[in-house]
Structures are given as structure tokens and as C-alpha cells.
Structure 1
Amino acid sequence: MDVFFADNLDLLSDFADQSHRLVIFQREEPDDANMFFQSLMKTTFSVSGKLNKATAVDNIRSILEKDIPSEVQRNPFYEVWLNDMADVSSLFCNVEKDDAISIWIGSKRGCKRYHVDIVPQRLLVTYAGLGTEWLPDEAADWKAYSTGEPNEKIIRDPAARQYIGQWDVAIFRGGQHGLLHRTPDEALNGPSVLMRLDNKTFYS
């Protein structure tokens, strides 16, 4: 099965032992989020680093501190956002069965072509803008993908395209049996806010 929609966040913790390519926990956008991110997206930023489960909030705060305008950091919702990223990061530490992971947070995305990530598993949360576009297996021409054909050849049925929703927590597989996905055109051509989590060696 390509995708499983979890009805609680804890079900994502054992993703590594599941057979799904993609697991999604759907969430509602909190109050005040839209106004906060409209302000944040006026700034172009791309930051990365490592964080520890026990100090995730402080680690994320430190990673972002120099790149986010002070007036944005003074917004009360900034702390809501930091704590949410820390909570999701703690979950991914459980998935990785490790106390440390790698994190990337940014406002520009550039993965235009459908592709499979060369990682065991990856977690994404799109906080603003259109979420990651992905293809169910039956909608993809894997031969076209493997031979370097453009997106128009890879996708069998454009109507089958799926998108990860804002604030949804999504974990998917990479590698040989990974999820075929891309940055949607809307996010290629405009700002968004994405958090990406990987294993602790990703930025080594």
C-alpha cells in the first residue's frame, strides 16, 4: 500500500517496521498561523544542522536565530512554531531510534523533477505553501523515471497526483522502494516554509 493515514501521531513512531511507502498524520492549521507565516515568508532563508532530542527547542532556536528577523522572533506564534518543530523532531528521533537527527528548514524548494530520495526515510512538514506532490505507484512510469525522462513522461495519470497538506506530518521511504515525489510548481515559483528531518549523518 502506498499511503497510510494515521489517526494519531504515535502510530508514526514505528514507521521503519511498517510496509507503507508513506504515512501521513493530518492536522489542522492552528489559529494565527497564516498571518505569522505570511510575515515569515517575506524573508528568504535556508538553515540546517543537527539537534538532540532532549534539547530540540533550544537547538532549533539556535539554528534559526541569525536568519529570522527579530520582529518575527518576537511574535508569540514563533514559540508555538518552535515547539511544534521540536515535538515532531522528538517523534522522528523515535523513528530513527536515536537521540540525534538532522534538520533543514527553509523558504525555497527546488526539486522540480519527480525523484526518490537516497535516504532510508525522511519526515516533512510544510508549514506554509503547497505541500510535496507525490505519485501513487500505479500513476508512475518507473521505466521513464529510471531512464531520465521528463515529468511529462513519468506521470501516467496527471489526475492521480497527490499533495501533502499544510501542517500534516509525513514520513516516507527513500531508496529502491521509495516514494516518487517532487516540489509542486506553486512552491517552485513562490515562497513556502518546509521542515525536513533526516538521520543524524545526513549533513556529515
Structure 2
Amino acid sequence: MAAAELVGSNVYVKSHQSEDNHITGDSPEVLTTIYEEPINLVILQRSLPDEVTSYCQKLVDNNPNFNLRSVLNNQTPTQSLTSLLPNLVGQSAFIEDLALLLDMYSCLFDLGEVGLRLQVLDRAMCPRFHTDKLGCRLVSTYYGQGTEWLGNCGVDRSKLGAGNMGLSDDESGLYPHAASIQQASKGDVVLLKGDGWHGNDGLGAVHRSPALTSGEKRVVVTMDFA
């Protein structure tokens, strides 16, 4: 299904699964469920083409400190990305995939521009579980470990931020046991509804960056309302 058809579609993908505050599925239609009131996290499960994965490996090898921040017009993403991304083998396949995500995100929320950040990471940028204060962020990990998150039934929100009393996430009582921590896979498209979404104050999706071992890398893209 084309991204432009997402918002107008009332068809729910048959393979989607709903539990607690989150929904997962393997077709783009699942992204529209972010508009459902109890839902604050949606995952579109997908696999990446080999060319895209190969480009990300080359990006890690050749540009280990790559950090791109830009505001892109949804009408000309391919041209903009071609000028912003390193010219490595597989660039066109990577740009095609990234432009698809931009198209889906902008159509879903009726955006003329999208705030994009693409980074090669060697550490957890947000190591503690938290919620975002914005409307809804898209996160997708192109290389390495995916985002970790907690369902509403597996989190004590009073332990977020200063409520942890200086204790680590696994010591504070934020979640009952390690099995409560869930993780997106490489290639998955994750929508994280934040506290800034209308009527969602204090109910944003609880998530964090995964801890990385020495030498481990990630390539992560985030998209926000511009």
C-alpha cells in the first residue's frame, strides 16, 4: 500500500497483534492505529534489503561519527538525501528506503516538512527509560540493536526520572522483572507517542536506547514533527 493511502484506510492488517498499549503488524496500515486512544506504541515489522544493510555497514566503517540533522520537505526527499548522505555503494537503495519512511510519516501526520536525524552510534544516547515530551516520534534502527521499551502493564511510571531516587532502572522498581523489557528488531519502524500528544500527558511510550558493548555500533534514524 502506498504511504498516501495510510491515513484514509480503515482496513486493519490481519496479522497485527494488540496487547496492552501497543500494536505490532507487518503491513503499513498498522501505523494508523497510533491514533487509537489507548495505543502509545506501534511497530511495523519488516526486513531490510541486503543493499540497505550493506550501505549501513559501509557507513559505520567509513563514517563512524556520522551525525545528520536536517529538516526535509516531503516533496523532494530523494534530492535532499542524495546531497546529504555519503556516496557509498548502496546509497540509492538506502535513500529509497529512507524516503519511503519519510513519506509514510509525513502522510500519517499530514506534515509538509519532517525533522530528520540519522546517526552512527557507539553508545546509548538515552540509556534510561523515559518518555518524550513531543507528539509522536518515528524511530528505526538500520544497523545494530533496536530500541527497548516497556508496556503499560510492565512499568511503574512513578519511578521515571527523579522518581528513581538515584537507583538504576533495574533497581528502582520501574519494572517487575527483566522479561518486562521488550525490544524492536533491526528494520522495524517504531512510532512512539509522547506526552505532548493531545490528551496523552503522563502516558507517553516508555523506551530507552540499548546498552552497547565496546566496538558495537548502531545506525538509527528518528523523525519528528518539524
TM range (shorter): 0.7 to 0.9
**Deviation string, structure 1 residues 168-197 (Cα, Å, up to 9, x no partner):** 111111112111110111279732101100
SS of the residue corresponding to residue 186 of structure 1 reads: coil
Instruction: State the partner residue of 1:179.
Output: 205
- Note the C-alpha offset of 1:166: 0.7
| Alignment counterpart, residue 85 of structure 1, candidates 71, 82, 98 | 98
**What is the identity, as a one-letter code, of the residue corresponding to 1:129?**
G
**What is the identity, as a one-letter code, of the residue corresponding to 1:126?**
T
The aligned runs of 1:35-74 (5 Å cut-off) are 35-42=54-61, 43=63, 44-64=65-85, 68=86, 73-74=87-88
SS of the residue corresponding to residue 185 of structure 2 reads: coil
- Note the C-alpha offset of 1:102: 0.5
- What is the TM-score normalised by the length of structure 1? 0.86
- Note the C-alpha offset of 1:118: 1.0
Give runs of ≥4 in structure 1 deviating > 4 Å: none
Rate the CA distance shift 1:7–1:38 in 2: closer, same or farther, 3 A.
Answer: closer
Matched-pair contact (CA < 8 Å) for 2:51–2:93: no
CA distance in 2, matches of 1:6, 1:196: 20
Report the structure, 1 or 2, having the larger helix content: 1
Instruction: State the partner residue of 1:24.
Output: 43
SS of the residue corresponding to residue 190 of structure 2 reads: strand
SS of the residue corresponding to residue 55 of structure 2 reads: helix
Instruction: State the partner residue of 2:178.
Output: 158
Task: Note the residue ranges of structure 1 that are not aligned, 5 or more in a row.
Answer: none
Rate the CA distance shift 1:37–1:46 in 2: closer, same or farther, 3 A.
Answer: same
- Note the C-alpha offset of 1:4: 0.6
Instruction: State the partner residue of 1:103.
Output: 116
Rate the CA distance shift 1:87–1:95 in 2: closer, same or farther, 3 A.
Answer: same
**Deviation string, structure 1 residues 114-156 (Cα, Å, up to 9, x no partner):** 1101111010110000000001122222111143413121232
The aligned runs of 1:125-204 (5 Å cut-off) are 125-149=140-164, 150-152=168-170, 153=172, 154-175=174-195, 176-186=202-212, 190-200=216-226
Count, aligned residues: 192
Instruction: State the partner residue of 1:6.
Output: 25
State percent identity of aligned pairs. 24
- What is the TM-score normalised by the length of structure 2? 0.78
Please give the root-mean-square deviation of Cα atoms over the aligned residues, in Å.
2.0
**What is the identity, as a one-letter code, of the residue corresponding to 1:105?**
L
SS of the residue corresponding to residue 36 of structure 1 reads: helix
**Deviation string, structure 1 residues 15-60 (Cα, Å, up to 9, x no partner):** 3355311111111121244433222112221111111111011122
Instruction: State the partner residue of 2:13.
Output: none
Rate the CA distance shift 1:83–1:188 in 2: closer, same or farther, 3 A.
Answer: farther
